[in-house]
């Protein structure tokens, strides 16, 4: 039985993973290599974000990605960094990025067991104003029996073997789950390593705080408006950074609920199932919270396409249940009709 870390014990993310792997007799070490690549990418991206204004790499590239979102220069730089760090790792068969229409096939041999999917920079529209952004990733087993590359990736979130995010905030944090709870690491820039600061993070069961872009209220299905009215009457506070990974990180530590409902512009929700919702849902559930898309558990959605979008309700168990109770009381969760 592993003891909780005390202030006397210092463990890096890499050594933590190695010690986890040593408990699995058949482990090949591939997983350690992937996470070492993720930590390297995280440190490179963190450095580039800090220097962005100086290096004149803020602002849009002038093109859109496959989802139609305007690409920022740093979206492209972060994407390239991840592809370069993960690209020659033993054990990685396929990479799939929010920024690339098609997955990148590295190996299709059966002994390349993993696929890595990522949102290179979440919240990139916040970069220009010096607000937190993040990198989100999801690791799946490579299904070498699938008919096509895309099909091999279209696995429900329950099939994820690991998920994590790096938040480039006032400090740089790495949050990771391998399906046995959630651990939190912080980058110590003086030694260039992510150090374990909290093992088995637990999400508070409740928290009177909601995170939603309330400016779209007139477009929300009635159930969400009813939930907001209830929250207003009960002294909730509202916090919305506009970077999902930062909003959910806050909820992970202090409780509450993050909601991105269907809207007129995004009738199926805005966030991407495979790159954003699934990995964050795995983390939230592993920390004891809940993650739904309307009335469906996010992790059980069978994906139909790589870039598909989804609505999101995730966070503290009691707060998610409160939103779901409003959904249960309504017949529909379609976006509201256009206001008069
Ligand atoms: P990305 O930068 O990867 O495209 O994601 C942006 C997402 C998410 O981070 C955030 O929660 C949401 O967009 C904000 O959308 P609104 O501006 O519509 O609130
Ligand atoms: Mn994103
Ligand atoms: Mn992004």
Provide the pLDDT confidence category of residue 14 given band limits of 50, 70 and 90: very high
Residue nearest to atom 15 of ligand 1 (CA): 242
Summarize the confidence of residues 123-138 as an average pLDDT. Answer: 96
Angstrom distance (rounded) from CA 42 to CA 174:
8
The per-residue pLDDT for 37 is 96
Q: Which CATH architecture has domain 209-338?
A: 3-Layer(aba) Sandwich (3.40)
The per-residue pLDDT for 337 is 56
Decide if domain 8-198 falls under CATH 3.30.540.10.
Answer: yes
Asked whether the predicted pLDDT for residue 295 surpasses 70, the reply is yes
Q: Which residue in 26, 7, 2 sits closest to 15, CA to CA?
A: 2
Q: Which residue in 150, 149, 180 sits closest to 162, CA to CA?
A: 180
Delimiting residues of CATH 3.30.540.10 domain(s) in the chain: 8-198
Ligand 1 pocket residue status of 134, Cβ below 6 Å: no
Ligand 1 closest atom vs CA 125: 2
pTM tops 0.85, yes or no? yes
Cα(331) to centroid(ligand 1), Å:
28
Ligand 1 pocket residue status of 123, Cβ below 6 Å: yes
Cα(119) to centroid(ligand 3), Å:
5
Ligand 1 closest atom vs CA 247: 11
What is the C-alpha radius of gyration for the chain, rounded to an integer number of angstroms?
A: 20
Which ligand places an atom closest to the C-alpha of 69? 1
Torsion of CA 226, 232, 234, 239, to 10 degrees: 110
| Ion ligand 3 residues within 5 Å by Cβ | 119, 121-122
The DSSP letter of residue 28 is -
DSSP per residue, 43-104: HHHHHHHHTHHHHT--SEEEEE-TTSPEEEHHHHHHHHHHHHHHTT-TTEEEEEETT-SSPE
Catalytic center residues: 69, 75, 98-99, 119, 121-122, 276
Delimiting residues of CATH 3.40.190.80 domain(s) in the chain: 209-338
Q: Which residue in 203, 200, 182 sits closest to 279, CA to CA?
A: 182
Coil, helix or strand at residue 7: coil
The per-residue pLDDT for 340 is 39
Provide the pLDDT confidence category of residue 6 given band limits of 50, 70 and 90: low
Mutate which of 73, 120, 122 to test ligand 1's pocket (most atoms within 8 Å of Cβ)? Answer: 122
Helices 278-286/244-254 angle, 10° precision: 10
Least confident span in 22-36, 217-231, 270-284, 311-325: 22-36
Ligand 1 pocket residue status of 69, Cβ below 6 Å: yes
Quick: pLDDT tens for 32-72.
Answer: 899 999 999 999 999 999 999 999 999 999 888 888 888 99
Asked whether the predicted pLDDT for residue 1 surpasses 50, the reply is no
């Amino acid at each position: 039985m592993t003891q909780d870390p005390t202030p006397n014990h210092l463990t890096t993310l890499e050594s933590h993973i190695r010690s986890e792997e040593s408990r699995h007799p058949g482990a090949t070490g591939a997983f350690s290599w992937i996470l070492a690549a993720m930590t390297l990418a995280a440190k490179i991206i963190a450095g580039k974000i800090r220097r962005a204004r100086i290096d004149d790499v803020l602002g849009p590239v002038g093109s859109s990605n496959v989802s139609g979102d305007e690409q920022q220069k740093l979206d492209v730089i972060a994407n390239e960094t991840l592809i370069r760090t993960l690209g020659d790792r033993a054990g990685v068969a396929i990479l799939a990025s929010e920024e690339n229409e098609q997955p990148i096939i590295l190996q299709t041999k059966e002994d390349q067991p993993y696929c890595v999917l990522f949102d290179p920079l979440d919240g990139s529209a916040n970069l220009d104003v010096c607000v937190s952004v993040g990198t989100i990733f999801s690791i799946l087993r490579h299904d070498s029996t699938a008919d096509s590359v895309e099909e091999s990736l279209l696995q429900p979130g329950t099939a994820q073997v690991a998920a994590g995010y790096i938040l480039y905030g006032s400090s740089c944090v790495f949050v990771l789950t391998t399906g046995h709870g959630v651990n939190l690491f912080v980058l110590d820039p003086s030694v260039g390593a992510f150090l374990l600061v909290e093992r088995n993070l637990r999400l508070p069961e409740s928290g009177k705080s909601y995170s939603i872009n309330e400016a779209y209220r007139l477009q929300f299905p009635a159930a969400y408006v009813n939930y907001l009215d209830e929250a207003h009457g009960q002294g909730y506070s509202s916090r919305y950074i506009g970077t999902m990974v930062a909003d959910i990180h806050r909820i992970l530590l202090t409780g509450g609920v993050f909601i991105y409902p269907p809207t007129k512009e995004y009738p199926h929700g805005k966030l991407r199932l495979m790159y954003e919702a699934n990995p964050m849902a795995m983390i939230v559930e592993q920390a004891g919270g809940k993650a739904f898309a309307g009335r469906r558990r996010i992790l059980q959605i069978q994906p139909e396409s790589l870039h598909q979008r989804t609505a999101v309700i995730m966070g503290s168990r009691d707060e998610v249940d409160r939103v779901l109770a409003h959904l249960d009381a309504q017949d529909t969760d379609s976006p509201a009709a256009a206001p008069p």
